């Protein structure tokens, strides 16, 4: 029974840390040492947005210079 209570407390603590990390909950310490908890509204929307993705283009290699034409093969002697 005690393990279950400790597990629930640990999970609630992790959820609270996650909410503070994402900005849904804000903590502010006052001069007298007290802590104020501020909440921010969470908004979900499906607005269309234009996203620009950087594109890396490669320049094709320039063709190698043409090699000298090989010498013609000698004519075969047919006698």
Torsion angle of the four alpha carbons 9, 10, 13, 19, in this order, in degrees rounded to the nearest 10: -120
Tens of pLDDT, residue by residue over 44-56, are 777 788 888 888 8
Please give the pLDDT value at position 78: 65
Please give the pLDDT value at position 68: 66
* Whole-prediction pTM: 0.45
Tens of pLDDT, residue by residue over 10-44, are 999 999 899 888 888 888 888 888 888 888 877 77
Domain limits, the chain: 2-39
Dihedrals phi, psi of 19, to nearest 5 degrees: -70, -35
């Amino acid at each position: 029974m005690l393990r279950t209570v400790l597990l629930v407390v640990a999970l609630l603590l992790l959820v609270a840390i996650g909410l503070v990390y994402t900005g849904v909950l804000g903590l502010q310490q006052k001069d007298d040492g007290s802590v104020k908890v501020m909440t921010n509204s969470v908004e979900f929307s499906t607005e269309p947005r234009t996203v620009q993705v950087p594109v890396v283009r490669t320049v094709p290699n320039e063709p190698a210079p043409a090699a000298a034409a090989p010498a013609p093969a000698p004519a075969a002697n047919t006698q």
